[in-house]
Structures are given as C-alpha cells and as structure tokens.
Structure 1
Amino acid sequence: MPKTKVMDLTEDPTPVPSPAATAHRWLSVGRSAATDPRLAGEIAARAALTGASPRLLMVFCSALRDPRAVLAGIRAVGAGVPLIGCSSRAVIGPAGPIEDGVVVVALGGPGFSVVTAAADGANGQQRAAGATVAMTAGLVEDRPHQVLVLLTDGLRSGQEEILAGAYSVVGASVPLLGGSSSPHYPTEPRTFQLHGDEVLTGSVVGASIASDGPLGVALRHGWREVGEPMIVTKSTGGDVFTLDDRPALSAYLQRLDAPPEAYTDPATFSNFAQSRPIGIRRRSGVEVRGVSSPALLRDGLLCSSGEVPEGCLVWPMVGDEESVLAAATDACRDAVEALGGQPPLGLVAFDCESRGRFLGPEGTGREFARMTGQAGGAPVAGMYTWGEIGRTRGINGFHNQTLVVLAVA
C-alpha cells in the first residue's frame, strides 16, 4: 500500500465538506497523519465536524496506531456523538490512500437519524452478534432511506454467519454494507473495533443510518470467469478439498494454465493466485473469494477466508489492472446513480486489501482518482478490508477482492 508523506500536523488541516451539504444534511471528512495518535484523532475529528447536530462519526484508523489514544483525541472534540470504527492496513482520505493515519467521516443535520450497537462476535457467537447489531434497524427513526453499516473483525471466522444473523432481523428490506477490520501484518498483527468510547476486539459494530435523502450502495470487482463452472465436491467452511472430484489445487491451476512452479513453490503460487480468485455463483450474482493454500501446498487444498459451500458452482477468475480500475469507476458511478439525480454529499469506500496489493502504490492512486472522478467534487473516504460486506439483494453478501461503495445524498 502507498505511504503518503505528510507533515506532523499540529493545526487543523482544511476540512473537506461536501459542496452539496446543507444545514439539513451534511457530510465532511477529516484526516491526519500526525505522529502523536491522540493529536491525530483530535485533528481528524475537528476537520470532520464542520456542521451542527452531528449524528455519526465513522473512524478508519491505521492498525499501527494506539486506538485508545486516537479515540481520546476524537472524543476531546466530538464527545457524545455516536461512533463506530475499526483498524485498517491503510485508510482512504480526501487526498488518497495513506498507510499510517486516521480518517474520520462525520454525518450530521436533522435529515439523518442513527442508532449504533456492538456485540461480541467471537467464535460460536457470530450469528447472534449480527442479529444484535441489526436490531438497531428497528430502533432508528423511520425515514424513507436506510442502510446498515457493519464493521467486523477480519481475524475471526464465520463472517457469513454474522450476515446471516443480520439478515434474520432486517430481511431484504435494508441494504447491508461495510467490511472486516484488517491488521498491519506483519508489523502489527492485531485488529480492533471502535464503538462509542470503547476499543473492542473480536466484535461486530454497526450503525443503522436512516435519511431523508437517498443512500446508494453498489459493488464491483473487475474479475471475469474462465471456462465452464466446476462443482465443489468436498469443502468445509473456506477449505476446498475437491473440485469436480479432483484435488482442488491442481484443478484450479490446470484451468488457469499455471506455470509448473505454482504447484510446488508457495511464493510462486501466492503471486499467481493474487490476481486469480474464484467466483461463487449465487442467486444475486457472483461472489468473489480470494484463494491461498497451506505453506507446503500439501494435500491439494485451496483455502479462502470466506465460505465456499459444498455443492456450489465456482469458476477460476482472472483480471488485470485496467479491469480492476474499471470496477472502481463502475462501483462509484452505480452508487451515485442510485441517488436518483441528487448530488452526493460523499462516498464511503470499503476496498479489499488484496486489491490494493495487486494494484501497488501507483495503481491505488489511480483507483482513488477513478473514485473521485465519479464523486462530483464530494469527498471520498474509507478503508482497506480483509473482507467486504455488500448485500443489496439475495441473502449472502460477503465478498473478497471487491469494492463496496456507499453514496450519501
């Protein structure tokens, strides 16, 4: 991920509000890379809080930072404002991606209503945690437009269970979006979530946002299917043992004409698979799963951080930098078009960390330019995730190597 060089800011940077903001609904973004974590939180929060009646703070914080110090700085400026947030390998601010910084997105004005919640999402409690947080949808003030933002722990399994729990409460009536917190591996192999005045781990935090104005949710990935589908004939969770009753690893590599070294050398396999995920056929479309394999490539196993159900159809997928960048353009355009002609106040992006690694520093800069090109001058902010949440139709909604965008009017 790119590391933008910035000064150790001791004064507030220029706030980045939306040109479409009004007293009724507004969105502003602040960011800071100040060395002191408390100061960074304070600077970012002060820059974001540009209007009256703030309703929500969304905080995206580098996993390298002390989250308690960052939160203390934010609360010195925005005490009492509902808050959700999490760690990220890199954050997206008004000037683009930055590896070591803090970004705060503020929503405000009487045109928004927000209710937040947090729940323990440890193994065995994922579905209950998703349901608990989703109950905020029934507590928020009734308005014409609503979404549920979910931030989860990327180091925990069972992400689909979290979404199943949320879906059991809200059904198809409320779009789900968000992502899984990511560490700064291997420098800082931890994640954290933020809710109110608390720093949490292993948790699900979320916010139901209801608005008088439209809220657009869109997602794209930029990968294309290769050949005919294969049947997952044996799998457990995200571990795929056989495809079409053949060892999954060799079936996947043969379909993609992989070099011989990819069968035996872990580094070659990892580099090869980075731009070759698999796609799962769902009723709502294709969900992308990044793939890996045990370090010794033993037993012909393919691994994914998301569930690959036994009996489903999958395709190996391929793409290149241009197709991934085009997906960023398309996702942002789709989200803005969902606003029905109203100008966006801002875009919030949940981008996959593996997309960032695939694009590299220069490519992520170009991706950010694609995003801002669709924003009409409104600010763009977000994070790089270890899994993206985007459900606008169907039951499932957990993705890898995908970009999910929320446009707010």
Structure 2
Amino acid sequence: MGTSAGVGHSFHRDPAVAGKEAARKALEQAKIDKPDFVFVFATVGYNQKVLIKAIREATSRAPLSGCSGEGIITQETVIETNFGVSVMAISSDELRFKNARVKEIAGQSYKAGERLAEEVNPLLTSDDIACFLFADGLVFDFDPFWAAFDKSLRSKSPLPLFGGLAADNWTSQKTYQYHDDDVFSEGISCVVMSGKGDVAWGINHGCVPIGTKRTITRSKGNIIYEIDGVPALEALKDYFEEDWIDHWNKTTLNICLGFKTPEHLRKGYEEYIIRYIVGKDDREGSVTIQSDVREGTDLWLVRRDKELITSGMKAISRQIKDKTGTRKPKFVLQFECVGRGKVVFREGEKIELIRSLQKDIGGDIPWMGFYTYGEIGPITKYNCFHNFTSVISAVCCKERES
C-alpha cells in the first residue's frame, strides 16, 4: 500500500460544515475512506469543539492531533483569517503515528516536559523517526521544557522535534490544542512518528541586526529585567515607534531580539537566533521571551528583511533537496511565524513566496501548515526553538527494494 496523504481546507463559517468539508477533501485527495491518522490546523473564529467533532466524525474517529493558528497554509491556499481550517488525512503501512498530550502547563514548563515524557515513553519503539509538538504559544517556555523532556525520555537515540506554537487572531487571549476529541488550552499536543522513513527539513529566518550590541544585566528564566543596567523596556524603547505603548503587538512584530548562534550550531544555521518579545511588565520594565536567557548574554535588536526572507526560502529548498535526494516526500508540514505573513508582505507577495517554495520542493505533494507564535526544528542534531522563522519538515519513506 505504501503511504497516502491528502489535504483539504474550508473557509465556511459554520464549524460543522467547515470540518466536514475539509475532512472530505483530504480523504478524496488521499483516495482513502478511513485514515490511520489526522493532523488539523484551524483558526480561532470557530467553535473549536464543534469543529473537531465534525472532523472526527468525517474521518471515522481516526487519532487526531493539531492546534489553532493565526492562518493556514496548503498547496491551494495561503490565508490569514479567523475562519479557516485544514485537515491532513494519512494512511500508511510504512509509517505509524501515536499521539499524547499534557494540560495545565502555564508556569510549569519543566514539569510539563517530565509529564509529557511519561506519556510518550510507552509509545516509543526501536524505529522512531521524529516527534511533532503543538504547544500553547502564550504560556510555553521551550528551554525548561526541553531540558526535562530530553532527560526523562527513554529513547535509544535523540528524537528530532518539529512543530509550532499554537496562535490566535493577534489578541494573545487564548489558543487551542487538539488531541482526538479533546480541545484544550494551556497544553501540549504531541505526535510520535515511527516506521520506515525520515524527515528532511529546512530552517531560515531572514532577519538583520540594527543598532549596537547590548548586554543583559539582570534576568530570571525567560524574563529579562535589565539591559545595560537599566530596565529592559527603557533600554529598548529608543528603537520603538512613538505609539508603542498602545500598539504593542505591532511594535514587537517589527522589532525582536537576536542572540549570537552558539558555536556548536553555527555550521547549520545563521549568525543569530531570533526571539520574539511575547510580553512586558510596565511596572517592572521587564520583557518576556519564549526561552530562558542568562545574565551577561549579549543581544542585538533585529528586524526582518524581505530580500533575506525570499533568499532564505530558496535556501530551505536546497536544504531539503540535499536530504531527500531522488526521493519524493510523502507529505510536508510547514510552521511559519506570524511575523512572516501579512504584517510584512502584501497578500500577493506572501502567496508568491510560499508558492515558489512549494513549486521547488514539489507542487503536487500534500502540504499543510499554519502561522505560529513560535517554531521548533533541529539545527544539525540539536533540537531548537525559533521565532520569525520558517520550519519546513518533509516526511519521506525509505525506497523499497525492487
């Protein structure tokens, strides 16, 4: 049989109709009646429980994982809207998918890593390929999570992580994670993929530094209190526009933080690792990012560059082709930062950018993604967290002997 995958989408505003329509299209493209596994990405205008219930019913209650995003991406559409859902249906005798979840992770990222490892350990086998992770982008802190998850996971070899942080419609109020029938927030949905295959991936951000080097002088975990001896907000505000207090989302999408890429990652990545400022405390003058940072760390203010983003997409295509060789991917999952969508590109530019990547890798490959609040993907053999970045994961199967 091999592996069959199909993707469907819908923009219908009725969640029951949209879920069924997207699922039906996915099954039709895959040419299957009952899938082995289902991925779902959707935006937050829908009643999420009704949406997922409809998809589950239309896909014969196959195991399901996914999350909400700020927009959805397929071969047919690239759109950021409150009403959009995409479904990927997969049937395979080469690949296996097992899912897990944890809830109530706010302020407990280390504990969440331990708890998720407890759920994942019974699912592990000798031929595990990768783990896909969909976490709440409003409360997730990658570094303590990964330290605990990696330490507690009983895997014979490092398990590559791919995924994106769940997003909403720019309100930063509530995101959703999906696990079978369950729809929840402040949690993590996880998928372990095993079998006769591998993942070819590419990662690029396309940001450039502005201004001079700064130094973090007081921090705790993922909160930066002082930069160069003054409150972080005070140190950064010279780079912000005059109305930054009233338009914080706009400000942080134009300016973010860049940290020198660690030495052990530099052969496989760009000069800077990017961090989005997810929150601030006006009283303390602090800012919050989605990974931990130590006092004494140097940073730069960075901004996106359209030309670098465009050339970076071509670099992603080369990275993937180098790994796939002559094999054609069975399907692709894309995790694209919200800061690389409509906030920087006109609609036509945005669509053309992603279409060119899809054409390079394969215009007829089942392809699904979403606009995220953070991206996860390995640099060489090291699992890493990213912002303002595109992570493309192309799943391939091993060539069969003739």
User: Which range, TM-score by smaller chain?
Assistant: 0.7 to 0.9
1:154-183 per-position Cα deviation (integer Å, ceiling 9, x unaligned): 121433333333222258621101111111
Distance 1:167 1:227, change over 3 A: farther
Aligned residues, how many?
Answer: 379
Specify whether residues 202 and 265 from structure 1 end up closer, same or farther in structure 2 by C-alpha distance, changes over 3 A only: closer
Report 1:10-409 matches (<5 A).
23-49=1-27, 50-52=30-32, 54-98=35-79, 99=81, 100-134=83-117, 136=120, 139-143=123-127, 146-168=129-151, 169=153, 170=155, 173-186=158-171, 189-226=173-210, 229-249=213-233, 251-252=235-236, 258=239, 262=242, 265-266=244-245, 271=250, 273-281=252-260, 282=262, 283-285=264-266, 286-291=272-277, 294=280, 301-356=286-341, 357-377=343-363, 378-393=365-380, 397-409=384-396
2:164·2:372 contact (CA, 8 Å) conserved in 1?
yes
- Write out per-residue CA displacement over residues 238-294 of structure 1, whole angstroms, 9 at most, x where no aligned residue: 33233343554455566xxx48x54x7535886565333222233435421123775
Give distance in 1, aligned partners of 2:70 and 2:248.
23
Q: Is the 8 A contact 1:118 1:195 kept in 2?
A: yes
In the alignment, structure 2 segments of 5+ residues that lack a partner are 267-271, 397-402
- Greater shift in the superposed pair: 343-352 or 226-235: 226-235
CA spacing shift, 1:295–1:222, aligned 2, 3 Å:
same
In structure 2, do the counterparts of structure 1 residues 363 and 266 end up closer, same or farther at CA, with 3 Å as the change threshold? Answer: farther
CA contact (8 A) 2:107 2:139 kept: no
Gaps of 5+ in 1: 1-22
Question: Match of 1:3?
Answer: none
Which deviates more, 197-206 or 224-233?
224-233
Q: Is the 8 A contact 1:51 1:109 kept in 2?
A: no
> Is residue 56–residue 106 contact of structure 1 (8 Å, CA) maintained in 2?
yes
Inter-partner Cα distance in structure 2 for 1:133 and 1:293: 26
Name the SS for the 2:344 alignment partner. Answer: helix
What CA RMSD, in Å, does the superposition of the two structures yield over aligned residues?
A: 2.9
The Cα of 1:193 is off from its aligned counterpart by 0.9
- Inter-CA distance 271–206: structure 2 relative to 1 (3 Å threshold): closer
Q: TM-score, normalised by structure 1?
A: 0.82
SS of the aligned residue for 1:284 comes to helix
Report the TM-score when normalising by structure 2. Answer: 0.83
SS at match of 1:70: helix
Structure 1 residue aligned with 2:400: none
More moved, 391-400 vs 195-204? 391-400
Q: Is the 8 A contact 2:281 2:287 kept in 1?
A: no
* Preserved contact between residue 275 and residue 319 of structure 1 (Cα < 8 Å): yes
Amino acid corresponding to residue 278 of structure 1 in structure 2:
L
Q: How far off is 1:320 after superposition?
A: 1.8
Go from structure 1 to structure 2 and tell me whether the alpha carbon gap of 1:147 and 1:122 turns closer, same or farther (over 3 Å shift).
same
Give the superposition deviation at 1:119.
1.0
SS in 2 for 1:374: helix
Residue deviations 1:62-113, cap 9 Å, x none? 1111111111211222123221011112111222223221101122210001
